[in-house]
Structure formats: structure tokens, C-alpha cells
Amino acid sequence: MIGGAGKPSTRRPAIQLQIKTILNRIQHYVGFVYQDIRFTAEEGSQGGIAIRLEPHRGIRGRCSECRRPAPGYDRLEERRWGHVPLWGIPTWFLYAPRRVQCPQHGVVVEDLPWNEGKRSLTTVMMGFLARWGRRLSWRETAEVFQTSWEAVYRSVEWFVQWGLAHRELQGVESLGVDEIHWGHGLRANNFLTVIYQIDACCRRLLWVGKGRSQRTLRRGLKALGTTVVQGLRFVCSDMWKPYLDVMAAQAGQALHVLDRFHITLHLNQAVDHVRRGESSRLRAAGKSAAQQLKHMRWTLLRRGSRVRGRARQKLKALLTSKLQTARAWELKETFAHFWSYRSVSWAEAFLYAWCGRAMHSRLEPMKKVARMLRAHEPLLLNWFRAKGEISTGAVEGLNNKIRVMTRRSYGFRTYEAMEIALYHTLGRLPEPELTHRFC
Ligand SMILES: [Zn+2]
């Protein structure tokens, strides 16, 4: 209490603040004491803060295998761990670990609560870097906290591995499965298979792996475990055959739903296909109508109600034309009604009528979509049976986040690093508990 007017007796004496006081307050390790803290300023360097720890006298070291107290054996050389920097000054923990003689495990190094294996950072520092590594790029994190990219990567990796080992998979009822293109080229290795949880209560990335074959998905499901797979009620995916086959074989009890956004994607691709074909035909023939298709790609791909301003006028003009693209667009736009039905049988009737129109459109890309929809009709109608049970926009939303991460190069140098980063940002993983929240 400061300056309690008229009541000087309640005033506490001011104490000299020591770094040790702060350390004991925010991260006290039972069995160890902060011995001394020194500022070491070597010539030509900005210096650093060295925090030396010692064993608490009278408390025995614990075996690092079983965590039980054991008699001391000897002491090893002093080790050094990078710690959270103070005011931008590099900070280290220094400690000479004891070896203990455990009745069960023999002579082993003692358990150090701030240490994880042979790592050169304290667990607190690793958690600190990992949390910042979610807000900034890893390179920026390394720069800001005067460490290496590698150190940030290894910290995130530790954080993620801890999270994966401690996450709860109970109550996962709905999965979204999708493929994501990654890197350059169209080889199998340029695709990732992602498995999301898309329950209304929790949307997160559960698994990611290279490839998009049956084997890839089987690997993913195996990682989630049979309890999860057999407890599934809904699965949501594109019409990609390997995924459909694996899910039917392994989670036959679950209702397989074709995602709205994937269907829309196929329709958009078909419209674009028609536009490109028509545009080059018109240009080749020197027809002025080619002008109407110029710069229309993105306008045509949007939902009609979302096209505004000049683009809208251009679109209107295009639609009054007799162009194939106009008819293709109109078919795509009409299909949007499909999703608004409440009754499965009405939706079914609509689908039948729409496919009939598309098949008579003389537009091959639209006919192709119609054939595809017909072939998957039961799965398509499952969408209405699952309505309200799964969050249908989830797959698209999570995909977009992944694309942002993989495209905007965050400087993941390897696939493994990117995988870690995806779990880190989208996995909603539990975090190791620390006694103090540094950031
Ligand atoms: Zn032991």
C-alpha cells in the first residue's frame, strides 16, 4: 500500500527488488533455489543475464525416469539453457545436474523441471517461442527474441508434440476429409489429405498427411484410432473416389455427406470451362461478342446476388445475350436453390429436374457435372439428413486458413515443418501448463 494518508502504520517497508524475487514468484521449482543472478557484459557484446540454480539443501534429487527421490551419486558439468529474455537481454539458466542412484533405474541424471531431454532451451522459453510463433512468422519470432529459426521450429515442435499426446478425441462425431494442393506441380506428393473435426462445438485440424490416396486416408484414420472412427456419425467430403471408398469401408455407420462448397466448386469450374472454350472460339472467328466475355472470369464465379456495380451491368448484358456462357452461368446459379430445401424428396425432385435441364444444355462441362451429381445422388441428399448436425462451412473455412498458410510462404523449409505449423495453428491443441503466462 502506498501513501495511505493518515495511516502510516499500514505502510509496508519498501524492499529492494531482486530478479530472484520475481523468479521465485513466477516460476518456483521445488527442490531447487536460484543461487545468484549476474549480468555478464563481455567486451564487444551486449551481455547477458546468467541465472545460476543450485539444488535445495535437504531435498534429494529425483530420478528422471520415475520421478522418485533417490540418493545422490555425482555431479555433471554445468549446462546452459536459454531462457525468456529480460528487457531484450539474453538470459540463461545455469545448473550442474546431479546424477542420482535410483534403486530401480540405476545411476541416472536427475529430473530437472525446466528441462526437456537434451534441449538447450528451458521449457518455459520453448512455450514462449511457440506461442509467439503462432502470432508471427517463425523467422520474425527468431529475430525479435534474438534466437535462431531452428530454435523456434524445435520449440513449436515440442509444443505440438505435447499437445498431440495430450489432446482429447472423445466426442468427435463429424469428420471433414479433404485434399489440399501444396507446392508446385500435380504429383501425388503435391497434395495433402486433411482430416478435420467439424462438430458444431469444435472445429479443428485432427490430422494431415502427404498424398491423397486410399492409403493416405487409411493412415490418417489409423492415427485417430478405431474408437474415433467407429463413433463417427457424419463424414463430409468431396466426390473423390478413394476417400468415398475408404470411409464406406471403415465408417459405414456414418452418414456420408457431400459438401456444398465442393459441389459449388465443380459448378464454377464447369462455367469457367464453358467461358474459356467459347471465348477462344469467338476470338478465333473474329466475333465482337468475345468482348463480352473479357475480364468476366471472377464475376461469373461469384454468386449472382453478390455481383455489384459495373460488374453487375456487364453481367446483365451478358445474360441477355445468346452466349453459351450465359446459359452455363444460369444453370449454376439455379442450382443454389437446391440447398434451401427442407424436405429430402423435394430436393430430390429438384435435382432430377436440374440434371435433366443440364443434360439438354448441349454444354459438355455442365453435362459432366450433372452426370457426376446423378452418380452421387444418395450422398448428395444426405446433406439434408445431416442439416443442422454438422457445421457445413467448416471444411471450407479451415481449408482457406491452410491455403493462406501454405501459399504465403511462412518459410517452412520442409514438409515436416509445415505439418507442425498446421497443427500448431489449426489443431486447437492443449498446451503444456506453465506457472506464469509470459505472453
Ligand atoms: Zn527411477
Q: What is the pLDDT of residues 279-305, one digit of tens each?
A: 999 989 888 888 888 888 888 888 888
71: CA distance to ligand 1 center in Å?
11
Higher pLDDT, 94 or 386: 94
Query: What pTM does this model have?
Result: 0.83
Tell me the average pLDDT of the chain: 89
72: CA distance to ligand 1 center in Å?
12
The pLDDT value recorded for residue 190 is: 83
110: CA distance to ligand 1 center in Å?
9
Residue 175 scores a pLDDT above 60: yes
80: CA distance to ligand 1 center in Å?
24
The pLDDT value recorded for residue 4 is: 46
67: CA distance to ligand 1 center in Å?
6
The pLDDT value recorded for residue 303 is: 83
107: CA distance to ligand 1 center in Å?
9
Share of the chain above pLDDT 90, in %: 64
The pLDDT value recorded for residue 406 is: 74
28: CA distance to ligand 1 center in Å?
23
188: CA distance to ligand 1 center in Å?
47
108: CA distance to ligand 1 center in Å?
8
Residue 127 scores a pLDDT above 60: yes
* Lowest pLDDT segment from 106-120, 379-393, 412-426: 379-393
The pLDDT value recorded for residue 7 is: 54
Long-range pairs, 287-293, Cβ under 8 A, ≥24: 289/321, 289/323, 292/317, 292/318, 292/321, 292/323, 293/318, 293/323, 293/325
* Lowest pLDDT segment from 34-48, 65-79, 340-354: 34-48
30: CA distance to ligand 1 center in Å?
18
41: CA distance to ligand 1 center in Å?
40
The pLDDT value recorded for residue 363 is: 95
63: CA distance to ligand 1 center in Å?
5
77: CA distance to ligand 1 center in Å?
21
98: CA distance to ligand 1 center in Å?
14
